[in-house]
Amino acid sequence: MFSFPFKEMRPGQRDIIDNVIETVNSRSKLMINASTGLGKTAAVMLGALEASKQAGKRILVLTSKHTHQKIFYETIKSINLASNTNIKFVGVNGKQSMCLLDNSVDSSLFSEFCRVVREQGACRFYSNTYSKDRSLKPSALNAIQFDVSDPADCIDASRRFEVCPYEISMVYGKSADVVIANYSHAFNEEISNSFFSKLNISPQDTVLVIDEAHNLHSKVQDINSTSISLRTLERAHDEILKYGNAELAKKVKRMIDVIKDIRGEEAVDFSDLFSADDIGIIDDIIEAGESRSSIPPSFTLKRVVQLLLNSDESYLQYASNENERARLNIYSLDPSNKAKDIISRFNSAVLMSGTLKPMDVFADLLGIQDARRLDISDTFVDRNRLVINDTSVTSKFSHRDEQTSAIARNIKKLLIGMNGSSIIFFPSYDFMNRVAPLLGDSKDIIREKQKMTREEKESILHRLKSQNAVLLSVIGGNFSESIGIENNSVKLIVVVGVPFEPPSVRLKALQNYYQSKFGKGFEYAQVLPSMIKTMQAAGRGIRSERDRCTIILMDYRFSMFRKYLPSSTKFSSGDIIESIKSEALSDDR
């Protein structure tokens, strides 16, 4: 029914297509680990379309960021062109990112803000979209005549006719074969219920495709966590007193007093402070606030109280008070139950990533131990990259002073004679700034800043593509994930140090929880996130089957986590240049 959209398949793509078809037909789950550049998006979508069409199902694709959706738009268009078909798709971003109203509302409050302005008729874009009987007004009908499958095009058309882009995408998407949205559209139930209803999505009749699935467990944790600032608590306290409920105000005051006394971070426990009746009181206060055309601080308090009432050992409550910015945080330690519950509602599910290894770890964290696994690692990517772990140095904090010059010396050796651009990733801005002055000025060295504009980022990417530049960057910063550098411009990637998260109350609680549940606290809480960041950064150099790149992991501690590394990784404790020459010759690269 559908044709492959390119001239020939790359190694592994046929396996992906066949496994996806089998997964949909058997109503099961599939985890796919396949390197960046393999073409897994095209293979997964072809298999999903083939099987879903035959079974009469729709497809819901979820991405971690809306910028990741573009490849799915392009893939579906390519399949349509190759197959002479007309698969209809719609891309949906978050409500706030599509909103045409001028607003500076905190993202956690936007849904409530949107509801309030709609109900009070204060949003002209929404008012121009629907009549009182929920039929579309002429302006909305005009907008929907355009191709609004891409959110950017939808926003342009909606701005032209002064209608709501989000609602236009919902109407357009009701008949879409494929819906492409963000994780929150399925995993945040405050959003998903309305989202599914508007798009006529029935999970049991829908194939779920999750892109960049290595991010899913942490995203689910974030969705099920919340925080509230001390200032908002104080405003909520004053509001409750004004409303006349001294007992509830007393409870909030107790929270305020505890948080004020804390310096740094400290675990707290307010689980028994509130009752279910308090939710009803807060609802009344919220309703009174809405009548004043504002979102009362009690709205944020309600979310906090709801989580406190449902808190168990899988939640951490802690207060943080640094730089006079005090907050109460409620953090979800266990993503597995929520992820398992939501994934299991769908007809079938395909989770894919280039960093979904080891699969048993991700299966545990997502509660999908019954998922089938497909690991396609022996592909052109392994043949086109040389991965060496330089075990002669470390960025370990206790050894940093003595190791800084050795690391700089090894980096300088690598850069000499390098034909092409290079990216050197460091574990922190502080360490990067300590090494940078030792590298000299023989190369065009660019140093990443913590806060960069889009124009500044694009300028750096242009320099990497057009000249032999060296970018000093930070793991988890602006350039370690989700950037594509074309034309094989980057020939060398160096990751300096294992990017472990700094100690914190949250990290300690997470490690203890995972140790209790899985018996692998350090691995799941610290090693896994660090190695995900490492391999994402290492993958910036290869984006197609023609690209070649040398990757140096510069820390002996990487050798302790070999199951997270490519099977082709070499280990060297000697001269790094001689190791590269030796491996390049022996592997005939």
> Which among 546, 523, 521, 549 is positioned nearest to 537, based on CA atoms?
549
Cβ atoms 63, 212 nearer than 8 A: yes
The predicted structure's pLDDT at residue 293: 53
The predicted structure's pLDDT at residue 478: 80
- HSE on the CB side for 573, CA within 13 Å? 3
The two tokens of residue 390 are 């330089």
CA distances from 165 to 131, 148, 161, 179 (A): 16, 9, 10, 15
Residue with tokens 């499958």: 149
User: d(Cα 26, Cα 47) in Å, to the nearest integer?
Assistant: 13
pLDDT at 92 over 70: yes
pLDDT, mean of residues 81-91: 95
pLDDT at 63 over 90: yes
The predicted structure's pLDDT at residue 184: 94
Count of residues making up the chain:
589
The predicted structure's pLDDT at residue 369: 97
What domains can be seen in the chain, in order of their start residue? Answer: 13-105+125-217+337-376 (3.40.50.300), 226-332 (1.10.275.40), 380-586 (3.40.50.300)
pLDDT, mean of residues 413-430: 90
The predicted structure's pLDDT at residue 402: 81
Neighbouring CB atoms inside 10 A of 179's CB total 24
Q: Which residue has the higher pLDDT, 115 or 328?
A: 328
pLDDT at 443 over 80: no
User: Euclidean distance between the first and final Cα of the chain, in Å?
Assistant: 39
pLDDT at 36 over 90: no
What confidence tens digit (pLDDT) does each residue in 284-322 have? 888 776 655 567 788 889 999 999 999 899 999 999 998
Identity of residue 72: F
User: d(Cα 294, Cα 407) in Å, to the nearest integer?
Assistant: 55
pLDDT at 229 over 80: yes
Q: How are beta strands 385-390 and 549-554 bridged, if at all?
A: parallel
pLDDT at 331 over 50: yes
Mean pLDDT of the chain: 91
User: d(Cα 485, Cα 465) in Å, to the nearest integer?
Assistant: 7
Neighbouring CB atoms inside 10 A of 262's CB total 17
pLDDT, mean of residues 93-110: 85
Which range, 446-460, 496-510, 543-557, has the best average confidence (pLDDT)?
496-510
Cβ atoms 39, 544 nearer than 8 A: no
What confidence tens digit (pLDDT) does each residue in 465-520 have? 877 899 999 998 888 776 666 677 899 999 999 999 999 999 999 999 999 999 99
The predicted structure's pLDDT at residue 589: 45
The two tokens of residue 476 are 């988890």
pLDDT, mean of residues 92-113: 85
The proportion of the chain whose per-residue pLDDT surpasses 90, expressed as a percent, equals 69
pTM: 0.92
User: 25-34, 260-269, 391-400 — which is least confidently predicted?
Assistant: 391-400
What confidence tens digit (pLDDT) does each residue in 113-158 have? 888 889 888 899 999 999 989 999 999 999 999 999 999 999 999 9
- Exposed, middle or buried by CB within 10 Å (0-12, 13-18, 19+), for 497? buried
pLDDT at 256 over 50: yes
pLDDT, mean of residues 549-556: 94
pLDDT at 585 over 50: no
